[in-house]
Each structure stands twice: as structure tokens, then as C-alpha cells.
Structure 1
């Protein structure tokens, strides 16, 4: 499948910002079933490319002159559904057993995960766990935020793709399965998803397997991977800090379309 992507992020401030530095994880890479045909990032600032600790293609955005807004546009075309293997792991897989504040378990999460502990932990069992998570925590916007932990989302009984990925990852790690957070894009025929998406990878004997928990399915040719990490904070598309600016308003728009052959 040929997918064209336009991802626009706009920051507007009530006062002058003297300095901004942001980390952008907005560049997909070849591998894991996808090939990048073209890609560019346009910003009103200076970009410096580097690979982060997880092997993500990242950029540092620096604005060192007074500004009242920031515009970031990532756009390009990615071919998906290919037989291309994952890139070589930079970090030992044991790193992905490490709990973080966003993916730590509490008693309730451990009691939920333990029902899968005595089974042969294969792809089918993880699919079963994926469905059980969404049954327990149906998708609902506005109940959580980017700082909500897996345990908090599980207790609340409502969440979004970020929460589902964190809960799945937390359970996998409790069961001794390395797991990581994935940020990226999802193509919907009706164009209803106008924001970035999140899912999870789990390491099984035959390699990494990807689970789009919110949509109750394995990640496939409608997904485009951007970045991975231990949790949202490692893989989110944009993060950073600023000096000045007063109040901030951020708007994000994502459009994923199927390119004409």
C-alpha cells in the first residue's frame, strides 16, 4: 500500500518565546514491512539530525530568536505491507523488560496479567490479552492524558491508544516478555483518525510482533512506524522545553491517504 502522510503541528503563545528546543521523532525508517519513498520536515527553525538511543531517526529543533509560534510539517510517502525485516536492535532486548513510571504495574494490573501466566506465551495468547485489555478498558477520549500511567488507566476503565499500549506493555513485562511502545500513523478508509497513533511490540521466539491494542488487531500494512521506546515519553513525535511564551496552544493535524497508483 502506498500511503501519503501530512502531519502538521502548530504552537501558538500568548507572549514572546525567547528560546525553544524540541526533539522531533517524525521520521519513519525502512524496515518492519515499510519503505520510505520520500520524506521531509519543514520548520521555522534549525534542525539537526541524529539517531537516538533506541535507533529512532530524530531531529533537534532549535529556535534561538524571539518567536510567538512554531510550525512543524512532516510530509512524505511510505510503502507498506512489504516483506522487509525489522532493523537490527541497538539495545539488548532485556532493556525492554524495564518498568517505567508510565508502565509500572500495581496489584490490579498484576492480577489481570496473571491469568495469562501459566499459558504458553505465544502470539495467540497475546492476542487474547489484547482483546481482554480493551474489554476491561474501552476506548474513550478525554478520560486520560499523556501523564496517565498504565495502572491509572486500568483503574479508570477508560483510555485511548496510548493507554492501551502502556497497559499491554506493562502486562508483557510482568510476564517476562520484552515489550516496547510504538508511535506512528494509521490509515483509515474514512480518514477519521486525524492524529498520530500508538501500538506495542512484544518479543516472542520468532521475533518482534506488533499489536494495535485499541483496534484489536495485529499491526499490518495500514500502519506506518515512526519511533519506539520504553514508553510514550521515549517515542512521542514532539517533546521539548521553552523559555518564556506565557500560555501555549497546540494544534495537531494528521492526514493519511492512499496514494494513487
Structure 2
């Protein structure tokens, strides 16, 4: 399957930003069932490419002139479902047993996971998605696995963190995966997250939110111990006042009509970012 991706991120600020620095993990790599046909990132600043500790292609973006807007645009095409699973393992598997604040398992998570110690990994996946419902807006990017498990609700990021916590508590190395998901009806036009777990002597890619294994409709961007180490964009700025941010993601089969209802042009995206900024400013 040949998938095209357009991912636009627009930032606006109430006062000028003096300096912005971001880490962009927005570049997929060939291997692990996918082949990158082409990929391009457009930004208003200087970019430096490097490979992070987890083997992700990463760019440091620096904008050192005053700015009240910032946009990041990604456009590319990836062929999925290819018979190429070569991806150099840069770290020992034991690294993926390390706890992080976002994936730490408490007694409740450990007890829940222990019931699946001698069972197929899919059984744990299905039980978890039944336990923690998919409820957009119920959590934040800072929500931990323990908090999401206690709330019994969250989104793909939370499902991934709880599943990782369960797997590591059982002694299975697990890592967070960020990327994109294609759906025929265009219903999930946003960044997505799932998990690689080392089970039966191989990496198995598990999408807990959708109760399935990740396959040819998925494009992986980056992996890490948790959201923070695999997030598509992280960074900081000096100045700027109140920030407004809006994103537009379109994942489509190459050559097929684009779901126009999910595609925003730059002007529409800027207006949405400004509305979000105004709402946040009014709350302060």
C-alpha cells in the first residue's frame, strides 16, 4: 500500500517569541515493513539532522529571530506492507524494560497484568482496551499510566503507556511508537501511537486502541521508552505570551481522492490556531 501524508502544524503567539528550539521526530525510516519513497519537512528556521539514542531520524529546529507565528509542514509518501523488516537494533532489549514516570506500573497495574502472564499477548491487549475506554479529552500529554488506569479512560497515548507498563511488569521489553494511521473513511486524521512488545522472540506491533496488530495501514515515525522520547515534536521557547496551536493531518492512498473535510489550507489552520489562542487567553 502506498500512503501519502500531509501533516501541518501551526503556532501563533500573543507577543513575539525571541527564540524557539524544537526536536522534530517527523521523518520515517525504511525498514520494519515500510519503504520511504520521498519525504520533505518545511520550516521557518534552521534545521540540523541527527540520529537520537533510539535510532530515530531527528531534526533540531532553531528560530533565533523574533516571530509571532511558526509553521511546520511535512509531506511524503511511504510504501507499507513491504517484505523488509530490517531495522538495526541500536540498543539492548533490556533498555525497554526501564520504567519512566509515564510508564511506571503500580500494584493495580501489576495485578491486572499478572493474570495474563501465561497467555497470548493479544489477550492482554483486548482486556486492556475493555478496562480503559477510549475517551478523547479525558487526559493530557502529562497523564501517567497509573492515572489513566485509575480513570479507566484515555486515548491512544494512554493505552500505549498502560500497555507498556503491563508488559514491562511481566518482563516483556516494550517501546512506544509514534506515527500515522490510514483509515478508509478518513476518520482518524491525526498522529497515532501504538506499542512494540518483544514477545515470542520477535517485535510485535500492538495497537491497543483499535484492538489489533499494526500492519500496512500504519506508518511509523519514531520509537522510545514513552511519549516524551518518541513524540513527533518537543521543544521550548523564550517569550511569546499565550500560544495557540492547530494541526492538520491527512493520510491517504496514493492516487485516491483526498478526504477534503479533513484537509485545511494554511489560512484555515492559522484561523483555528488563533481561535485556540484566544480561548486559552480568556481562561487566564
Is the TM value for this pair above 0.5? yes
Q: Does 2:174 correspond to 1:204?
A: no
- Residue in 2 that maps onto 1:24: 24
Q: How does the TM-score come out when normalised to structure 2? A: 0.89
Report whether the alignment pairs 1:10 with 2:20: no
Match of 2:171 in 1: 176
2:239 match: 244
For 1:72 and 1:37, the matched residues in 2 are separated by: 20
Name the residue aligned to 2:160: 165
Aligned partners of 2:103 and 2:164 also within 8 Å: yes
Number of the residue aligned with 1:91: 91
Q: 5+ residue gaps in structure 1? A: none
Give the direction of change, closer, same or farther, for the CA distance of 1:86–1:181 in structure 2 (3 Å limit).
farther
> TM-score, normalised to structure 1's length?
0.96
How many residues are aligned here? 256
Distance in 2 (CA, whole Å) between partners of 1:30 and 1:207 is: 18
Q: Give the whole-Å Cα distance in 1 for the aligned partners of 2:144 and 2:128.
A: 15
The residue number in structure 2 matching 1:101 is 101
1:30-77 C-alpha deviation (Å, 9 max, x unpaired): 001000000000001111110000000000000000001110001100
**Aligned 1:11-160 pairs, distance under 5 A:** 11-117=11-117, 119=118, 125-160=120-155
CA deviation map 1:3-48 (0-9, x unaligned): 0000011111000000000000000000010000000000011111
| 1:138-195 C-alpha deviation (Å, 9 max, x unpaired) | 1010110100001100100111000000011000000000000000000010111121
- Once the two structures are superposed, residues 99-123 of structure 1 have per-residue CA deviations (whole angstroms, 9 ceiling, x without a partner) of 0000001111111011012x15xxx
Contact 2:104–2:165 under 8 Å retained in 1? yes
Give the 3-state SS of the residue equivalent to 1:70 in structure 2. strand
Q: CA deviation at 1:204?
A: 2.1
Structure 1 outlier segments of 4+, above 4 Å = none
CA distance in 1, matches of 2:13, 2:190: 21
Counterparts of 1:143 and 1:153, CA distance in 2: 9
Match of 1:259 among 254, 257, 277: 254
* Cα distance change, pair 31–46 in 1 and its aligned pair in 2 (3 A): same
Q: Is the Cα–Cα contact under 8 Å of residues 121 and 199 in structure 2 kept in the other structure?
A: no
**In the aligned structure 2, how far is the partner of 1:22 from the partner of 1:76?**
21
Task: Report which stretch shifted further, 164-173 or 197-206.
Answer: 197-206
